[in-house]
Amino acid sequence: MTVLRALSIRGKLLAILFVGVLMPMSIGLAWFTLQEVRALRRELVTTNSLLAYVAGQYSAAELAFDNKEESEETLRALTKLDQVVFAALYDSQGQLFSSYRKPSLAPGDTIPGQIAPPLEPNVEDAADHIDIYQPVVYNDVRYGTIQLRVSTGSLQDRIKAYRWSVILAALGLMAFVVGFAFALELTLTRPLLSLAELARRITKREDYSVRATASRGDEIGTLSEAFNAMLSEIEKRQHEAREAARIQHLLASVSGALAESLDYPLTLSRVVRLLVQSFADFCVVDLVDEEQRIHRVAAAHADPEKEGALRELYECFKPTWDSPLPAAQVLRSGEPLLLPEVTDAVAQAHVLGAEHLRLIQRLGTRSVIAVPLVSHGKIFGALTLACAHPTRRYGPEDVNMAQELARRCAIALENARLYREAQEGIRIREEFLSVAAHELRTPLTALHLTTQRLRRLAPPVPGGGGEANRFAALIHAVEQQGKRLANLVGSLLDVARIDAGKLVLEPEEVDLVEVVRKVVDQFSDELLKAGCTVRLAAEHPLIGWWDSSRLEQVVTNLLSNALKYGAGKPIDVTVEAFNGAARLIVHDHGIGITEEDKERIFARFERAVSVRHYGGLGLGLYITRQIVSAHGGTIRVSSQPAAGATFTVELPRGPREQAPSL
């Protein structure tokens, strides 16, 4: 079975036919021949034994009367028969009495002179003859024996004839078997092998457009048809997969181009260029502005030679709200438009006149899709795609694709618009902050100078007096408000500087302890008024490479917050060296900060208290963190509501590589 499995179909067929047909038939023929030969021999023996018996009956008298002549006559009659070679009569002692032999008998074939007389009829086989011995008995008296030598030549002839028949039958059968196997190979194996070869070729070249010849109506034909059907399916799926990959690639490229820049005219011109590489032969984008005017903003053609005609179309035949152009129609309806076949009649219905029609025809327009660009339900543009290929036409699937492209373009354009608006807003705000801060500084400086002059001009009141004290207190109040105003303006100016990246540090050798002491001194009045005392723990000077005025600002912001949010309670300020860095800790016992506000309060304009209870802009901690970060340091807060707050600033002490800016 294993041997059979390894054989080709032809080999298998040959083996099966040999073993299943040829061999049994040959054995059958041989057996039949053998049976036939046996039957012939039996017949030969029976017939000639009968002859011998009859001749024996005649010969009994001849033996009894010693009549040799009569006996020979009887024997001659016997040899007239074809098969009898010779006939001999022996007396009761086995002595030859008389005989007759055919003249044709070979001289070597001698008639024995003496035999052992058999008691019963006897038959002896030799290669080319049979000897039949028949006792001659009459009235129970035994007179002698008659011998007939019968030639088996006819039997041999028959055997030869049978042998040839068997050989010829076997050869015929073999020829039939081989012919059958070849015929089967021609009709079965070859088509199968050619199918296998085709499958191999297809796999190697990945060309699924070839087909097997399938004209026959048999099982091979069915197999070929099934094979071809499979190839058609694979080809269809391959086409779909390629199409999907092409679409994905196009969408990815378009998305990439859209994401690359927020400069929308540039982006749109890139996108239309991408579209004419694979999806359209030419493509135009129209946008609607704030005043509802339609503008052609981008166009491209796949064929550089047709760019001129496209430019003419772009510049001379712009859509207006009531024009029949596909883009205008889409802008009016908000629905996509598909013109699968742009015949002359169709083109005429969508142009602005004969010249426009001529241009459309020159561009070879065959099929058109126009889709709206929609953002937040508002139609703000249209994308028009045209195909100029002689055989290609747009269909519903292309409309879906165009809508997906339009959706992506719309998102990108909307993002660009929002970004532009945001940028513009930021620019206006920064400009305002900067101008306002500068403008406010001038009167503040004037106010400061005026209060100083007032203080100098105040009439000296000997020994003091109520009037003089009130005057001094009023000047002081004006000075304090002026200082507060100056701080607020300073903060706004800092924010504007930080946003513009123009806040530059001027580092020098500074003693942090000295800075803290100076600020605490400056706060002495406020501290007194708020009922706060500052407990400063700073025994040694702590020198670092910092911007002294900005550091002052950091300490001021933290101390003023501690004073504002922890009024009536002591404030602990610690300045210490820590791991080669400097650490400033401002700890108050005030209102504290909730967990969720801890990070937020460092962002600009972020506050965790209501304006009604505590004044402020929400800029102090933002500016503080910016200054600390610019020094390469960190600031963090730990606090619990109603349990005070601890602000920790850590600053590296060494000089930084470059003068940092914020």
Residues that bind ligand ADP in the complex, under the rule CB under 6 A: 557, 561-562, 565, 588, 590-593, 601, 607-609, 616-622, 645
Between 55 and 532, name the residue whose CB sits nearer to ligand ADP.
Answer: 532
Q: How far is the CB of 532 from ligand ADP (least distance, A)?
A: 12
Q: How far is the CB of 420 from ligand ADP (least distance, A)?
A: 31
Phi–psi pair at 363, nearest 5 degrees: -80, -5
Q: How far is the CB of 615 from ligand ADP (least distance, A)?
A: 7
Between 514 and 606, name the residue whose CB sits nearer to ligand ADP.
Answer: 606
Q: How far is the CB of 578 from ligand ADP (least distance, A)?
A: 21
**Token digits of residue 582:** 């400097």
Place of tokens 């000047």: 475
Between 88 and 558, name the residue whose CB sits nearer to ligand ADP.
Answer: 558
Tell me the DSSP string of 448-515. HHHHHHHHHHSPP-TT--HHHHHHHHHHHHHHHHHHHHHHHHHHHHHHHHHHHT--B---EEEEHHHH
Q: How far is the CB of 428 from ligand ADP (least distance, A)?
A: 24
Between 588 and 650, name the residue whose CB sits nearer to ligand ADP.
Answer: 588
Place of tokens 């166009």: 299
Between 507 and 590, name the residue whose CB sits nearer to ligand ADP.
Answer: 590
Between 515 and 591, name the residue whose CB sits nearer to ligand ADP.
Answer: 591
Q: How far is the CB of 592 from ligand ADP (least distance, A)?
A: 6
Q: How far is the CB of 567 from ligand ADP (least distance, A)?
A: 11
**Token digits of residue 594:** 């909730």
Other CB atoms within 10 Å distance of the CB of residue 49: 19
Instruction: Specify burial of residue 648 (Cβ count, 10 A radius: 0-12, 13-18, 19+).
Output: middle
Phi–psi pair at 574, nearest 5 degrees: -120, 135
Between 618 and 632, name the residue whose CB sits nearer to ligand ADP.
Answer: 618
Between 144 and 590, name the residue whose CB sits nearer to ligand ADP.
Answer: 590
- CA distance from start to end of the chain: 89
Q: What is the dihedral of CA 386, 392, 394, 395, to 10 degrees?
A: 180
How far is residue 104's CA from residue 589's CA, in Å, rounded to a whole number? Answer: 158
Pick left, alpha or beta for residue 590 (phi over 0 → left; psi -120 to 50 → alpha; otherwise beta).
beta
Q: How far is the CB of 605 from ligand ADP (least distance, A)?
A: 8
How far is residue 513's CA from residue 574's CA, in Å, rounded to a whole number? Answer: 9
With vertex at residue 340, the alpha carbon angle to CA 352 and CA 241, rounded to the nearest 5 degrees, is 135
Q: Which residue is nearest to ligand ADP (CB)?
A: 616
Q: How far is the CB of 656 from ligand ADP (least distance, A)?
A: 25
**Token digits of residue 528:** 């007194």
Tell me the DSSP string of 520-558. HHHTHHHHHHHT--EEEE--S--EEEE-HHHHHHHHHHH
Q: How far is the CB of 611 from ligand ADP (least distance, A)?
A: 9
Between 357 and 617, name the residue whose CB sits nearer to ligand ADP.
Answer: 617
Between 393 and 607, name the residue whose CB sits nearer to ligand ADP.
Answer: 607
The residues that bridge with 295 in the sheet, in sequence order, are: 287
Q: How far is the CB of 571 from ligand ADP (least distance, A)?
A: 9
The answer to whether 314 and 299 have CB atoms below 8 angstroms apart is: yes
Between 32 and 614, name the residue whose CB sits nearer to ligand ADP.
Answer: 614
Other CB atoms within 10 Å distance of the CB of residue 535: 10
How far is residue 414's CA from residue 429's CA, in Å, rounded to a whole number? Answer: 22
How far is residue 32's CA from residue 36's CA, in Å, rounded to a whole number? Answer: 6
